[in-house]
Amino acid sequence: MAVETIQSSVTVTRNKKDDTEYETINTKFKLHDKKAALVDLGRHLGIFEKDNKQKNIENKPILTYEEVARRMKEAKAAGTGLDTKSIEGGDENGSR
């Protein structure tokens, strides 16, 4: 956390009975607003709808394991030079 301001004060108190002095140190500090810092960072990175028009982004479907396996087999059959053995993780039928 970042400190915005620090205020420190010393109070000297004298005991009337035995004439001793005591020092009391009071320290107040104010921290920066974390939420405002996150909002500023979000605006800078463009993650807010107003800043990057997220409504116009089209959603693409997530591929299933079977679809990824099918595409890898097609790439392997086409001779693209991809090393699919290290990422297939299963037998020839695509099961794990």
Per-domain residue ranges for the chain? 3-87
pLDDT bucket at 96, cuts 50 / 70 / 90: very low
Q: Which residues of 52-80 are buried (b: 16+ CB within 10 A; e: fewer)?
A: eeeeeeeeeeeeeeeeebeebeeeeeeee
| pLDDT tens profile 3-39 | 889 898 988 888 888 888 888 989 998 988 889 888 8
* Report field, pTM of the whole predicted structure over 0.75: no
Residue with the two structure tokens 């009975």 = 17
